[in-house]
Amino acid sequence: MADEIAVQFDRRPIAEAATEIAGHIRTFWKPRMRRALLAAIDSGADTAPVVHAAAAAAAAARVERCQDERCQDERCQDELSLAGA
């Protein structure tokens, strides 16, 4: 699904597209969908480079709000793991 969203931004610079896609992921995707995206990326799925950048941007934005590695919010744990915290 992330690649389908990425197609909508294919004419924009990668940084701009990644920011927009990350915002969509943070706003509309449920935690299980974010976990599935992270699992796909971790397993080496063939996803667009902008999708990798968007996942990292979504994680970084969340980590800025939640720096506590002991946080029990599953959204934080998913995103902290992607950010390498």
pLDDT tens profile 24-33: 888 888 888 8
CA 8 to chain centroid? 17
Question: Contact at 8 Å (CB) between 82 and 55?
Answer: yes
The pTM assigned to this predicted structure is 0.67
pLDDT at position 85, please? 38
Question: Which pLDDT does position 36 carry in this prediction?
Answer: 87
Range of the domain at 10: 2-83
Q: Which two tokens stand for residue 22?
A: 């990350």
So what's the pLDDT on residue 77?
53
- Taking alpha carbons only, the member of 66, 58, 64 closest to residue 82 is 58
pLDDT tens across 10-19, in order? 899 999 999 9
Structurally, the chain folds into a number of domains equal to 1
